[in-house]
Amino acid sequence: MTTNAQAAICRGHEQPFTIEQVELADLAPDELLVRVVACGICHTDLAVRDEQLPVPLPVVLGHEGAGIVEAIGSAVTAAKPGDRVVMSFNSCGDCPSCAIDAPTYCYNFFPHNWSGKRADGSPTMTLAGEPMNANFFGQSSFATHAIAHQRNVVKVPDSAADIPLERLAPIGCGLMTGAGAVLRSMEVRAGLPIAVFGAGTVGIAAIMAAKIAGANPIIAVDVNDGRLALAKELGATHAFNAKDDAPGKIRELCPQGLGYVFDTTGINSVIEDAWGLLAPKGICGIVGASDPSAMLKFNESQFMGGGRTVMGILGGDSDVGPFLCELIEHHLAGRFPYEKLIRTFPFEQINEAIAASESGEVVKPVLVIGKE
């Protein structure tokens, strides 16, 4: 049975999002119908709006959804009707990356997350009888209801029964990426220095995770002093404004170089400067969305001679279910206090929430779409 829903339609940079009546398709055997309670807004939604990523417009975005399962397809085992769930990215389950539990590098990532349709080409949503691009990250959660998949839904553990879904929603993207980059991709070692460039959701998640890993010192770099103050509150031992010779100050603090640098800005010059701060065996992790034509330059002998690594990172190498539950446990234990990044907005104020994110006023806006 098709489902009527209200969804925020994105038609590009020039127009505000508008909430309109849509229809969701019948569920496939491996799909779930989720009544969305809340959804975080991420920089990646805005990168799609601005056509920096190859997702077709118009589209229903939103990829940090949480809600309550209303119905499931015949092959679903991840959750049952009535379960509280968070949604993350989707993957095929059938490629060499999925085979080693590295679904963020799924060979079929595009058709399952960014094509605007299911991987088989069928639409999950229609608007006035015409197919509407959706299935964004296997969910499109800027809507009252979303079609999610067996592979991108995580049942909220019973231990987190008291944590509201509006707080759990954003855990499946930027927070997972920053924390996973430190704990899983780079496997940051205790006692080694790390610098994080960009103290937004991803950067601050990395800083909280660096504290969990025991890195020292933990250096935050941003152009926004408010965000630097927040980074210090949440685990950074030092904070430097990028406008004020941050690389020079880091060299003074750590003359032997850094074990890890982590870039969330996607700015070439920032990444190249950060790479230049690495100690032997140092790792430079990169996650920021950048100009698709951008090329990076590194000195070859420094690269090879010091055994340095440049690492592209997607989704913090998360294996979805187990890692999200691990982060929820860190949150419950007070080691991952990401609630300090969140401000909630009613669904109708989606454009105001986006503006607050873009001005830097709010680190993690979360839309409250329905009641729990």
Ligand X SMILES: NC(=O)c1ccc[n+]([C@@H]2O[C@H](COP(=O)([O-])OP(=O)(O)OC[C@H]3O[C@@H](n4cnc5c(N)ncnc54)[C@H](O)[C@@H]3O)[C@@H](O)[C@H]2O)c1
Interaction site with Zn ion (CB under 5 A):
42, 44, 91-92, 95, 98, 106, 173
CB of 214 to ligand X, least distance (A): 23
Contact stretch for ligand X (CB under 6 A) within 22-30, 120-128, 191-199, 303-311: 191-199
Which residue among 92, 119, 223, 355 contacts ligand X (CB under 6 A)? Answer: 223
Sketch the per residue contact string, 44 through 83, with ligand X: x for CB under 6 A, - otherwise. x--x------------------------------------
Per-residue binding letters, 239-258, with ligand X (x by CB under 6 A): ---x----------------
Work out whether the CA dihedral 234, 235, 237, 243 comes out positive or negative: negative
From the list 112, 167, 227, 331, which residue makes contact with ligand X (rule: CB under 6 A)?
Answer: 227
Amino acid letter for position 253: L
- Least distance to ligand X, CB of residue 242, Å: 3
Interface with ligand X (CB under 6 A), residue from 114, 136, 137, 197: 197
Is the CB of residue 327 less than 8 Å from the CB of residue 2?
no
Secondary structure class of 250 (helix, strand, coil): helix
Q: Residues 205, 172, 343, 263: is their CA dihedral positive or negative?
A: positive
Neighbours of 22 (CB within 10 A): 24
Contact 8, 61 (CB under 8 A): yes
- Tell me how far, at minimum, the Cβ of 281 lies from ligand X, in Å: 23
The answer to whether the CB of 112 falls within 8 A of the CB of 138 is yes
> Which does residue 341 bind out of ligand X, Zn ion, none, counting CB within 5 to 8 angstroms by kind?
none
Closest CB to ligand X among 193 and 198?
A: 198
Give the residue with the Cβ less far from Zn ion, 92 or 223.
92
- Answer with the entry of ligand X, Zn ion, none that 10 interacts with (C-beta below 5 to 8 A by kind): none
Q: Which residues, 6 or more positions from 60, have their beta carbon under 8 angstroms from its beta carbon?
A: 7, 8, 9, 10, 22, 125, 132, 133, 134, 136, 140, 142, 143
Number of residues engaging ligand X in binding (CB under 6 A) = 33
Q: Is 173 in the site for ligand X (CB under 6 A)?
A: yes
Shortest distance, position 40 Cβ to ligand X, whole Å = 9
The token duo for 309 is 């690594």
174 binds ligand X (CB under 6 A): yes
Residues 337-366 that bind ligand X (CB under 6 A): 360, 363
Sign of the torsion formed by the C-alpha atoms of 184, 189, 194 and 200:
positive
The verdict on 270 binding ligand X (CB under 6 A) reads yes
Q: By CB under 6 A, is residue 288 in contact with ligand X? A: yes
Distance in Å, CB of 36 to Zn ion, minimum: 16
Question: To the nearest 5 percent, what fractions of the chain are helix, strand and coil?
Answer: 30, 25, 40
> 296: which 2 tokens?
């990076």
Nearer to Zn ion, 17 or 240 (CB): 17
Contact at 8 Å (CB) between 252 and 274? no
Stretch that binds ligand X, among 94-102, 173-181, 182-190, 319-327 (CB under 6 A): 173-181
Contact range with ligand X by CB under 6 A, out of 137-145, 307-315, 319-327, 339-347: 307-315
Taking a C-beta distance cutoff of 8 angstroms, is the pair 66, 60 a contact? Answer: no
For residues 221 and 369, which CB has a smaller minimum distance to ligand X in the complex? 221
By CB atoms closer than 10 A (0-12, 13-18, 19+), residue 138 is: buried
User: Quick one: what does residue 229 bind among Zn ion, ligand X, none, with the CB cut-off 5 to 8 Å set by partner type?
Assistant: none
108 Rama sector, left if φ>0, alpha if ψ -120 to 50, beta otherwise: alpha
Can you tell me whether residue 72 is helix, strand or coil? strand
* HSE (side-chain half, CA atoms, 13 Å) at 123: 16
Binding site for ligand X (CB under 6 A): 42-44, 47, 173-174, 177, 197-203, 221-224, 227, 242, 264-267, 270, 287-289, 313-315, 360, 363
